[in-house]
Structure 1
Amino acid sequence: MDQQRDHENITELDQQLKGSNQSNMRAYNERLVLSLVRRNGQLPKMKLAQMTGLSAQTVSVIMRSLEADGLLIKGEPVRGKVGQPSVPLSLNPNGVFFLGLKIGRRSSELILVDFLGQVKQKVIHPYPFPEPDDIEKFALKSIKKFETDLGETASKIAGLGIAMPFELWNWAEAIGTSTDKMENWKTYDIQKILSHSCSYPVYLQNDATAACGAELAFGTNQTKRDFAYFYIGTFIGGGLVINGSLFIGKNGNAGALGSMLINDKAGDTKQLIDEASIVTFEKQLQEAGIDPSPLWNMENGWQALNQTINPWIERVANGLAQAIISTTALIDQEATVIDGAFPEHVRSRIVTATQEAIKNYNQQGIEQQIICEGSLGTVARALGGASLPLFDRYLVDQNTSLNQ
C-alpha cells in the first residue's frame, strides 16, 4: 500500500469519519485515528484534528497513547514557513500481527501479516478435498511454527481469522468427492477447536466476504465508499462494502453474489455460480479431454490454457454483467471490483470482457458502471481471514451507530 498520498485531498468517505471529544469515546476515537492513518498514510496532528473534528489536545492524547502502544510511529518533521515543524505519524508495521487461515476446496493456506497487511510468512497445504482433521493438524502445526519464529513478539498476534466456504458439505460432487467424506463438516466447529489452542481471539467468515474485507483493508480500492465485490475461486462468491465498511448482514450471508440468478447464452436461468466459477472451466477442459490440473498452478499453469480460455471468459463476463446490473439497481454502488484465484493477466481479461458484455444489456434507470480490478489475487481469502481481527479491534465500522 502506498503510504505517500496527497493529504490535501480529503475523500468523501474520510469527511464522514468524525470523532467525539467526550472522554467515554476514547476507544472509538483511537479506532478512528487508526482508520484514517491506514487509509491516508502519514498524517500530522493538525490534519487529523481537521479530518475528525476533534480538538488538537484530544488528538495529541490519542496519538501519544497509540504511539506508546507501538501502533503508530513518528516520521521526519516537516518544517513550514512559520511555527513548529509538523510531525507526521504512520502505522507501525510491527505494532501488531494477524493470522489468516484460508480453507479452500483444493488447498488450505495460513499466513502471518503485519499491521500494514504485508505477508511475513505463508504456508500452503494442498489436497484433493478438505478433511477437518487434516486441516486442523495443518493449522495447529503451522501456527506453532509462526509463533516460534516470532519469539517474544508472538505476544503481538491480535487474532486468527478463518476464511472458508459456508456449508462445505454441499459441494462434494462439484469438487469430485463423495458426500460421505464431507459429512463431518456439518458438526465440525473449527473456530471453536482452534480457539482452545490459541491465546488470542479466533474469528470465522465466509471466504469471499473475507476476501472483500481484505480488499477494503489492504487493497487499492480502500478509498471507495461503496462497492460490490466478486471473487472468482473454485466457486464464485462476493461481498459488499457500504458506507466504507464491510456489510455482512444479519446472518453473515449478505453479498452472496454467486447465488444471483442470471440467464446463460441459451436463455436458461442459472445461478451465477454455475457460469462464472473456475470449476466451470475445469469441467469445460475435462469435456474436451484436456488435463485441468494447470488451473491450480498459479505460476505458469494458466499460460498453457490460453488457447482454450476464451469461451470460459465469455461465460464469466456474460454472467457478471447481469449480476452487476442487478446489484447496482439495488445498492447503487460506486464501483464493482472483480478479483479471483488466477494470474493478473486473466483478471484483466475478465474485467475487460465484462466491461464489453455489460453494453449488451438494458441499463435504463441506473448509472454507468465502473468496473475495476481487485488487487490481491490468490492471497485475498487468506488476507481476508487476517483482516477479521483487524476490523474487530482496530478499525471503525461506519455501519455501526455510535449510540448503540
Structure 2
Amino acid sequence: MPVRPVKGSNQSILRAHNERLVLTLLRNHGALSKSQIAKMTGLSAQAAGVIMGHLEAEGFLRRESPRRGRVGQPSVPMSVLAEGAYFLGLKIGRRVTEMVLIDFHGKPVRQVSQPHFCPTPEGTITFALEAVAELLETLDETSRERIAGLGVATPFQLWEWAEQIGAPKETIASWRDQDIGKRLRERFPWPIYLQNDASAACGAELAFARPPEENFLYFFIGSLIGGGVVLNGSLYTGSQGNAGALGSMPVVLADGPGCRTVQLIDVASISSLERKMTDAGVPLAGMRDSTSRWQVPENVLAEWIAEAGEGLAQAILSACAVIDFEAVIIEGGFPSDICARLAASARDRLVTVTHRGIDLPSIRQGAVGANARTLGAASLPLFERFLLSPRTLAASQIGSDS
C-alpha cells in the first residue's frame, strides 16, 4: 500500500516536530532509509539524514542491513530501537491495581498486579512505589535512565459509583479530595500523565491496533463501563477529559408489563453481572481469579449478555444520532470469548431496533484485550513525548506531487 507523503519543515524551530515525525513514521512503517523519509515528508534528503543521525546518536534508532538498489550506493534503513526508551503504566482498578513496563515498540517487558477489596489513595501510592522498584529490577542501570514517563489510567469521579461497584462509601469517598497525579509527581522523577481509564483503553486500541476507521466509538467494560470517542483518527477527551462517559447514558429495559429507565452501567458492567451471580447464590471467585478464564453458570452469563447487549445497542444508536460513527469497538476486562459474545449480542440487537435516518456502524471486538487500560496508561508518555498524534500527522499530509 503506497504511503502518502507527510509534510515536514526545514526550519530549525520545528526540529522537535520533525524528530517526532520521523519517529512516528518509523514506528508505523518499520525500517526506512533517509531517502524514503525525504519522499514521505517533503524534507530534503540532507535534512532527513541529519534528523535520523541525531536520533541515532541519542540512542533512539539503529541501523539495519544496507539495501542495494539497481543503481547508486546501497541505502541504509534505520528503525526504532526497542531499548531506546521505556514507559510505565499504572491502572487503578476496582478489584486490581496494575503496573506495566513497556519498551519503545510498545511491547510489555514486565507487569505486576495487586488485587484488593477496594482501591484507596494510600494503597495506590504504596503499590506504585513497590511496583516501580520491582519493575526497575528488570532493567540495567543504563536502561533505567531511559524511562521517559509514567502514565496513569483511573476512573474519574470514582466516589460517585460506590453503590454500583459494591464498595464502602467511606472508602471510596477518600478519593474525592485526592490529587493522585500530584502525589505521584512528589515521589517519582519522571513526568506523570493522567487519563480516564476507559479513554486510556481506547488510546491503546489506537496506538497498538491502529484501526482503519477515522471515527469510531469505543466501549470498555470493567467493574464500571466507560469508553472513548475517536474523531478524525484521534482520541477526543473533551474539555474536562471525560468525553466518552458512556456508562451514564440512559437505556430503557422491559420490566414486567412495563419498562424502566436505568443507566448503561446498571446493565453492561462486570458489577451488574456480579449482582446477578450474588442473587443466584453463585460465588464470585469464579470470575475474579482471572481475566482469561471465567467460571460462570451459563444461564446467568447468557441473561447478562442479553441485557448488556440490549443496553449497548440503545447507547450505540443514541451516540450515532449525534455523530455518524463508522464503527463501534467493544472491549472488556474479561475472557475474549465472552467479549465476542457480547459484541455479537449488541450487533444482533442493533439491527432490530428502529433506526430510521441513522446509518448503523459496524460492531466488533477490540484487538488489544483485557489489558487495554494498563497498556493505554503506558502509552500516554510514549505519545506525549515522542510521537505525533494521528490528527497532527493527517493535518501535515501533502500530495505526492507537491
TM-score (norm 2): 0.90
Q: CA deviation at 1:290?
A: 1.1
How far apart, CA to CA, are the structure 2 residues paired with 1:76 and 1:331?
47
Partner of 1:305: 297
Aligned residues: 391
Q: CA deviation at 1:362?
A: 2.8
Q: CA deviation at 1:306?
A: 3.5
Distance 1:200 1:242, change over 3 A: same
> Structure 1 residue 9 and structure 2 residue 26: aligned?
no
Identity %: 46
Confirm or deny: 8 A CA contact 1:233 1:341 kept in the other structure: yes
Partner of 2:400: none
Specify which of 138, 160, 170 is matched with residue 180 of structure 1. 170
Residue correspondence of structure 1 range 15-26 to structure 2 within 5 A: 17-26=6-15
> Structure 1 residue 128 and structure 2 residue 112: aligned?
no
How far apart, CA to CA, are the structure 2 residues paired with 1:50 and 1:272?
48
Deviations 1:92-132 (A, max 9, x none): 11110000011111110011111111111111111111122
Partner of 1:214: 204
Q: CA RMSD in A?
A: 2.2
Partner of 2:399: none
Moved more, 54-63 or 163-172: 54-63
Distance 1:86 1:242, change over 3 A: farther
Q: CA deviation at 1:373?
A: 1.8
How far apart, CA to CA, are the structure 1 residues paired with 2:76 and 2:215?
32
Distance 1:43 1:328, change over 3 A: farther
**What is the SS of the residue equivalent to 1:372?**
strand
Q: CA deviation at 1:303?
A: 4.2
How far apart, CA to CA, are the structure 1 residues paired with 2:183 and 2:194?
12
Partner of 1:159: 149
**What is the SS of the residue equivalent to 2:139?**
helix
Confirm or deny: 8 A CA contact 2:164 2:266 kept in the other structure: no
Residue correspondence of structure 1 range 283-294 to structure 2 within 5 A: 283-294=275-286
Partner of 1:191: 181
How far apart, CA to CA, are the structure 2 residues paired with 1:27 and 1:182?
42
**What is the SS of the residue equivalent to 2:175?**
helix
Q: Which runs of 5+ in 2 are unaligned?
A: 397-402
Partner of 1:336: 328
Residue correspondence of structure 1 range 262-277 to structure 2 within 5 A: 262-266=251-255, 267-277=259-269
Distance 1:293 1:29, change over 3 A: same
Confirm or deny: 8 A CA contact 1:208 1:231 kept in the other structure: yes
> Structure 1 residue 348 and structure 2 residue 337: aligned?
no
How far apart, CA to CA, are the structure 2 residues paired with 1:307 and 1:85?
64
Moved more, 136-145 or 266-275: 266-275
Q: CA deviation at 1:223?
A: 4.5
Confirm or deny: 8 A CA contact 1:245 1:398 kept in the other structure: yes
Partner of 1:3: none
**What is the SS of the residue equivalent to 1:110?**
strand
The residue type equivalent to 2:87 in the other structure is F
The residue type equivalent to 1:312 in the other structure is W
**What is the SS of the residue equivalent to 1:210?**
helix
The residue type equivalent to 1:159 in the other structure is G
How far apart, CA to CA, are the structure 1 residues paired with 2:111 and 2:151?
14
> Structure 1 residue 360 and structure 2 residue 349: aligned?
no
Confirm or deny: 8 A CA contact 1:140 1:194 kept in the other structure: no
How far apart, CA to CA, are the structure 2 residues paired with 1:175 and 1:251?
23
The residue type equivalent to 1:362 in the other structure is T
How far apart, CA to CA, are the structure 2 residues paired with 1:180 and 1:278?
22
**What is the SS of the residue equivalent to 2:294?**
helix
How far apart, CA to CA, are the structure 1 residues paired with 2:249 and 2:350?
16
Deviations 1:163-221 (A, max 9, x none): 11011222222332321122221122221111112111111111001111111112x23
Partner of 2:52: 63
Q: Which runs of 5+ in 1 are unaligned?
A: 1-7
